[in-house]
Structures are given as C-alpha cells and as structure tokens.
C-alpha cells in the first residue's frame, strides 16, 4: 500500500506527469494565501485522474500549475521528465468558466486551434463538424457564444480543447453548468474520447459520483492549504461496455467507493 498522504506510487519509467513537492502561495505579507502545500503526485500516460476536495482547497491552482499558467512557489511540475515552464500545445485546457472568443461563431471557435495549426479548410471543416455533432451543437454552428446557454458554451469549450488532440486534457469542473441528462451524456462522450485516444486526463469535479465513475484514480484534497489526503484507484473507468452508466453507478462496489471518497472529503473539511 502506498503512503496514504503520498500520491507517488508509480515506478520511474511509467511516470508521465509529476508534481514533486509542489507548493503555491498567492500574495505576500499580511495578504499571503497558502493555496497548495507539499503536493507530490505522479501519473502515467493514459491515466484519468479526478481531483475532488472542498471549495477553495486549491484544485484550480493545481491544474494551473500543470497548464503552465502559474509557477509554483516551491517544487516542480514536469511532463515526460521536462519541467513545465509555460503553456503548451500538448495540453488542452477547459476552464471553470468557458473562455470563448465572443467575436467568432460556434464554428469559428471550434475551428480556431486547427486554423492556427494550418490545417486545410476541408480537414478543419470535417473535424469541426464531427465534434460539434457529438456535443449537439452542429445546428448552432453559425450562432455566437452570447446566443448559447451556459451549458452549451461549456460544451463548445470542450470541443475547442479536443480538436487540438492534446496529449493531456485538463478540465476544471467542466460539467457543472449542465443539466443532469446532458451531464451524463457528456461524461459518456468524454469517456469514449479518452478510451479511443489514450489521452491523459486531469479532471476537477465537485461530483464524487462523476470522479468515481470516470477516473482511473481519484485524488482527494484537504481544505486549504490543499494537500493530498489520499489517492484511490477506481476500477470502473476501464470496464468498457459491460453495463450502462446507471447500472454501474448503482453497483454496491461503486456506492461503497463513492461513500468512502465522500467521507474522506468530510473528514478533511473538518480538520
């Protein structure tokens, strides 16, 4: 068994993403906010890591340090042995609030990354159509972001990250604004994309059920300053097509794991 407070349990050759002793402190003097402390967490290529923890515990901060948007105050974040020193095309990011270009249509937003990469117009049109159809936005391709609901905007933000075929997909509570039905549908779509591409995913979610269902690993964080309380291997993500999502989510083993993660969050919020 790995040490409960240690997210590093892989042998060296398997490590793809590594947080080594990462701490992040915002501000200085009296306004100092220690957001993360002593985060050590390794994961392999193809892992689907779900991060859960109380609000304000530093989940977004953790993701931003891997995205390259902020430099940790201590420790190192590395990908494939190379320290992260800024954003890169190998990482696709979906923010907590959808970040879209308001002056571009839905189709324009979806095709923006492939256009930057110089993909031909025909190839781009095909990729965009396929992805917009998958998330149910094809009929809205000529609309502008302000004409979409919050959930539709978030679906478009997910498409925008996926069309770039990133090696690592970073998602910050991407389904929070979706209704229950669409949320389940999007979980399935994300799962399919993950299985087909072998992409590595870091998903932050407030839904413990979602984390246990989608993740190969569930990382539970403590209240601020965020530390890793426990990293739990979850078996359900790699079981393909055996049963429907509702069936899986009502399995006794699933319910037991969900309850275990929930009680860890409650305990960590109280301490």
Interface residue with ligand ATP among 18, 61, 187, 268 (CB under 6 A) is 61
* HSE value, Cβ hemisphere, 13 Å, CA-based, for 269: 11
Closest CA to 88 of 110, 68, 61: 68
Question: 102 and 145 in contact (C-beta within 8 Å)?
Answer: yes
Between 64 and 109, name the residue whose CB sits nearer to ligand ATP.
64
Burial class of residue 271 (count of CB atoms within 10 Å of its CB; 0-12, 13-18, 19+): exposed
Q: Which of 33, 104, 125, 262 binds ligand ATP (CB under 6 A)?
A: 33
Shortest approach of ligand ATP to residue 230 CB, angstroms? 16
Instruction: Please give the Cα distance from 48 to 101 (Å, whole number).
Output: 28
CB of 58 closer than 8 Å to CB of 228: no
Return the bridge partners of 66, or none.
none
- How far apart are CB 116 and ligand ATP at their closest, in Å? 27
Q: Does 87 bind ligand ATP (CB under 6 A)?
A: no
Select the span of 50-58, 79-87, 104-112, 251-259 touching ligand ATP (CB under 6 A). 50-58
Looking at residues 218 to 237 of the shown chain, list those that interact with ligand ATP (rule: CB under 6 A): 224
Beta-sheet strand order (sheet of 48-52): 91-94, 168-172, 200-204, 48-52, 217-221, 228-233
Q: Is the dihedral of CA 144, 171, 225, 21 positive or negative?
A: negative
Query: Least CB distance from residue 206 to ligand ATP, whole Å?
Result: 6
Neighbours of 78 (CB within 10 A): 17
DSSP 13: G
CB of 202 to ligand ATP, least distance (A): 13
Residue 58's binding partner, choosing from Mg ion, ligand ATP, none, with beta-carbon cut-off 5 to 8 A by kind?
ligand ATP
Q: Closest distance between ligand ATP and the C-beta of residue 173, in Å?
A: 7
Of 27 and 150, which has the nearer Cβ to ligand ATP?
27
Binding characters for Mg ion, 52-71, by CB under 5 A (x = yes) = --------x-----------
- Binding-site ranges for ligand ATP (CB under 6 A): 26-27, 33, 35, 55-61, 96, 224
- Binding-site ranges for Mg ion (CB under 5 A): 60
């Amino acid at each position: 068994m790995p040490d409960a407070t240690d997210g590093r349990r892989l042998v060296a050759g398997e490590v793809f993403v590594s947080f080594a002793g990462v701490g992040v402190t915002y501000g200085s003097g009296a306004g100092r906010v220690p957001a993360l402390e002593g985060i050590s967490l390794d994961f392999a290529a193809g892992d689907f890591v779900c991060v859960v923890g109380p609000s304000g515990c530093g989940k977004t901060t953790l993701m931003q340090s891997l995205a390259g948007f902020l430099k940790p105050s201590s420790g190192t974040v590395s990908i494939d042995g190379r320290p992260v020193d800024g954003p890169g095309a190998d990482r696709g990011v979906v923010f907590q609030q959808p970040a879209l270009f308001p002056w571009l249509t839905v189709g324009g937003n979806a095709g923006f990354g492939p256009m930057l990469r110089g993909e031909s117009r025909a190839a781009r049109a095909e990729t965009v159509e396929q992805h917009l159809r998958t998330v149910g936005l094809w009929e809205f391709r000529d609309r502008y972001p302000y004409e979409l609901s919050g959930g539709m905007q978030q679906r478009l933000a997910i498409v925008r990250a996926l069309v770039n075929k990133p090696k690592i997909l970073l998602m910050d509570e991407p389904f929070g604004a979706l209704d229950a039905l669409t949320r389940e549908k999007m979980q399935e779509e994300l799962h399919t994309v993950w299985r087909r591409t072998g992409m590595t995913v870091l998903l932050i979610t407030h839904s413990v059920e979602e984390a246990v269902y989608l993740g190969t690993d569930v990382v539970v964080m403590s209240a601020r300053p965020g530390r890793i309380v426990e990293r739990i291997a979850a078996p359900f993500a790699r079981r393909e097509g055996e049963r429907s999502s509702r069936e899986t989510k009502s399995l006794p083993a699933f319910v037991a794991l969900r309850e275990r993660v929930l009680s860890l969050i409650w305990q960590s919020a109280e301490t």
